[in-house]
Structure formats: C-alpha cells, structure tokens
A and B are shown apart, each in its own frame.
Chain A
Amino acid sequence: MDLDFLRGTSLALLRGLPLTLKLFLASAAAGLVLAGLIAFMRARGRVARGLATAYVFVFRGTPLLVQLFLVYYGLSQFPAVRHSFAWPFLRDPFWCAVLTLSLNTGAYTSEIIRGALAAVPQGQVEAARACGMPRGLVFRRVVAPIALRQALPSYSTELILMTKATSLASIVTLKETMFIAAAVNNETYRAIEVFLCAGAIYLALNILLSRAIALVEWRLSPHLRRPPDALPGLDTPPILGTA
C-alpha cells in the first residue's frame, strides 16, 4: 500500500466535503419543511390528499437520477423556463441538485411523518382534550413529542440515504467528494485506492450521523431507560456504549 498516495487522495477528497455537506444540509432542511406540508395535505380534503398522494407516488417510484436529469437537463427544453425569473437558479447545477434532492427526500419523509403521527395513541390525544387543552397546545405538547420519537429511527435511515444521494450531484458536474474521486481516478487509474478513500469518508459521515441521531433519541426517551442505579453501565449514552 502506498501511504503517501492514500494521504494525498484523502486530502484532495476532503476538499469536496464542504460542498457535500452543503448539499446535504440544504436539501435535508428544505425536504423536512416540504414533508411537513405534504403530511399536512394528506390529512386535509380530498383534492389536497389526492395531490399529495400522487406526488409521493411519483417521487418514490422513479430513480433519483432520472428526477435530477429531468430538472437539470429537461426543464431547459422550454423557452418559457429559460426566460423566467427562475432561470438563474435552474441553470445552476447546485440549485438543481438541492431542488431535486429536497423534492425526493420530501416524499419519503412525509411518509415517515404520516406514520409517526398515526402511531400516536388516540387515548393520549383524548386525555389532553379532556384536560381542556386547545388543539394547538395538544399538538405541541402531546402529539408532536410522541411523533418525533416515533419518527427518529426511520428518519435517521432517510438522512443516511440522503448523504449517499448527494454523490449523484457529481454527475451534473458539481465538484463534491464523489466528483473529485472520479477525477482523481481518471488521472491515476488507481480505482481501488481512490474509491476506498471516498468510501471511508462517506462511511465516517454516516456513522457520525446515525450516532448523533441515536443520541437525540436517547435524550428524548428517558422513560424507557432503567433507573440509573439498577445496573451500572446500561445508562451510558449510545455514543459510548453500543447503539
């Protein structure tokens, strides 16, 4: 193994990491807002529900790369789009990637939110109503906390899928980690070393991500833990023990 080459490659790849993270954060944030909206629509009247269902069906049933090509290459087919105010954004691969990733993750996340809301025990809501809480307060103090806890494990999976999906942005010429890996490979023809380095970076990112969410979940469910003095060692946060 050529350690100098591995170190040089890793350093080169790390220069793509900020862009990978930017893509990830922007899309995750926009996707979450969108998902909330879609989940809300699915609980409304027939038209809103139909629209939301169709959206989820289409975005979960087609490959992300097709969606990305449709946004990045496809939209430019229409002169109306090329002359609209949105063109400066739609011409930029970064905004196309963010748009596609958030539309895509929004569809999946809305299903997670819907499932989590449906899993809130009805009795809890009824009890809160019986105590005289208004609707908004019931949602904020009873439904939302329970649903959040329910949603976290699946949402962590979705975020990991998102991290991996940012690599597709390399295909529309964004110079993130994967793009640099492909470029280094083209120069050196040392595919195995280069892609192993890139894989290690993505793996580290995903392990950090899943650990962070496991920690949040641990913080949010103190009622499921044993009392501290029951058995020493079982009370350590997942980041130290096994998740």
Chain B
Amino acid sequence: MLRATLMTLAVTVAAMLIGAALGAAVAAAKLSDRRALRAAADAYTTVLRGVPELLVIYLVYFGGSALVTEAAAAMGVQGFLGLPSFLAGSLACGLTSAAYQAEVYRGAALAVPRGQGEAARALGMGALLRFRRILAPQILAVALPGLGNVWQLALKESALISVTGLVELLRQSQIGAGSTHQPFSFYIAAGLLYLALTTGSTLLFDRAEWRLTRSARRP
C-alpha cells in the first residue's frame, strides 16, 4: 500500500503540473484584452467546475481511448487501444485542476500592485524578464494558499482515478479488501494514509508560505 501511496502522489503531482501550465494559460486569457479569449476562458472554468470530476475522468479515459483507436485504425492498426491509465488519470485531474488554478492565478495576478510592472518597465526590462523577475515571484507568493487548496482537492480527486484501473492507493485497498474479505481494515488504512498525505502537505504548504512571504514580515 505504500507503493500505491507513492503512485497517488505521482499522479497528483502530474495533474498539478498539467493544471499549472493550462491554468496559467487560462488565467492569462481571462485577463487579456481580447473579448473572445476572455469568453473562452470563462466558459472553460464554468464548465470544468460545473461537471462532476468523475465525468471528466470517464470522458478523458473512454473518449481518449476512442480517439486513439480511431487514429490507430487510420494508420492501419486494428483493434481497441486504451489510453494508459496514468496518462488519462493525470490528464483528467489536470483539466479540472487547471480550472481551479486559473481562478487562483487570476486573483493573485490582480493582487500584485500595478506599479510593480510599471516600475520594471520604466527600468527598461523586457516583457519576459519583467514577468520572470518581478511579477511571477509575487503572483506565486499570493497564490500559494489558494494553490494549497487546489492541491488538497487534487489529492482527494486522485482517488477517483481508481475507476480507470490505475493501481493507486484506493485501487490497491480495493484489491486488498477483495482478496482478504476485510474491507473495513483496508479502507480505514487507506483513509489514514490519505489523512497523512493531506496533513503532511498542509504542513509543507504552511512552511513554503512562511518562506515566500519573508519580505512581508517584520525583521
């Protein structure tokens, strides 16, 4: 079960990374001057936060497999091809996570004072340097508590990936429960391990927040 716990962590980290990349893009679209981009990003966050996570997982897993099978058939390979469950699971969780992360980044970007970007521009910094050295660190510091929430959501959501057959923590406990006829013991153990994961990550996020907000503390 400890190996399965590592799998849960791995799939959650993968989902968070996919979500971070996509979420940042969606947040940028939400803040852009182009109306079409804003509307598309709004639609994305509304839909992905409004439908059940389980549905997104089924859609990516079965829908993705159907697409892969069709693509393979077009290339001359016959028969059903499944999407690897790790890929499908982290992609599905990442899509949901992106919607939540986009809102976090958007709020954080709005919280950074406008003058910071203007001052950097006045110093002659290019757009990329300005983002990397001035804006991104501040956005991240403000976004961290919100990202902590999203991480907790993703961690708990990763349990749903067990429906695709990926042997993560919950799937492993199902297997154990099935072969020993002691479902209570296995699911309690799973619950405790999840509790350890969520509590541990809360501590880590608190610590990271403390470090990233050094500038705001009194000496």
Q: What residues of chain A have their CB less than 8 Å away from a CB belonging to chain B?
A: 57-58, 60-67, 69-70, 73-78, 160, 163-168, 170-171, 178, 181-182, 185, 189-192, 195-196, 198-199, 202-203, 206-207
| Min CB gap B12→A, angstroms | 11
Beta-carbon contact of B58 and A185 below 8 Å: yes
Shortest distance in angstroms between B205's beta carbon and chain A's nearest beta carbon?
Answer: 14
Flag if A206 contacts B50 (CB, 8 Å): yes
CB<8 Å pairs between A and B, sample of 23: A57-B195, A61-B199, A62-B198, A64-B156, A65-B160, A66-B170, A66-B173, A66-B190, A66-B191, A70-B187, A74-B183, A77-B185, A160-B49, A171-B54, A171-B163, A178-B52, A190-B66, A191-B65, A191-B66, A195-B58, A198-B55, A199-B55, A203-B51
Chain B 94-116 interface residues, beta-carbon cutoff 8 Å to A? none
CA distance A181 to B188 in the complex (A): 30
With contacts A58-B195, A62-B156, A62-B195 taken as known, whether A69 is within 8 angstroms of B55 at the C-beta atoms is no
When distances are taken between beta carbons in the complex, the residues of chain B under 8 Å from A199 are 47, 51, 55, 59
Judging by beta carbons under 8 Å apart, are A195 and B190 in contact? Answer: no
8 Å CB contact of A75 from B49, B63, B181, B184: B184
B149 to chain A, nearest CB (A): 11
Further pairs besides A70-B191, A168-B160: 8, Cβ < 8 Å = A63-B194, A65-B162, A66-B173, A77-B184, A178-B52, A191-B65, A202-B50, A203-B46
B209 CB-CB contact with A under 8 Å: no
Across the interface, A202 reaches (CB within 8 A) one of B51, B66, B185, B188, namely B51
Q: Is the CB of B195 within 8 A of A164?
A: no
Q: Is the CB of B183 within 8 A of A185?
A: no
Q: Is there an interface contact between B194 and A65, defined as CB atoms closer than 8 Å?
A: no
Q: Contacts A61-B195, A206-B50 hold; do A195 and B182 have CB atoms under 8 A apart?
A: no
Which B residue's beta carbon lies closest to that of A73? B183
**B54-A167 in contact (CB<8A):** yes
B residues adjacent to A (C-beta < 8 A): 46-47, 49-55, 58-59, 61-63, 65-66, 155-160, 162-163, 170, 173-174, 177, 181-185, 187-188, 190-191, 194-195, 198-199
In-complex Cβ contact of A65 among B47, B170, B177, B188 (8 A): B170
Could you say which residues of chain B place their CB within 8 Å of the CB of A164? Answer: 50-53
Closest residue of B by beta carbon distance from A185: B62
For the complex, give the distance between the alpha carbons of A75 and B184 in Å: 6
Known contacts A181-B55, A206-B50, A207-B50; is-contact A66 B62 (Cβ 8 Å): no
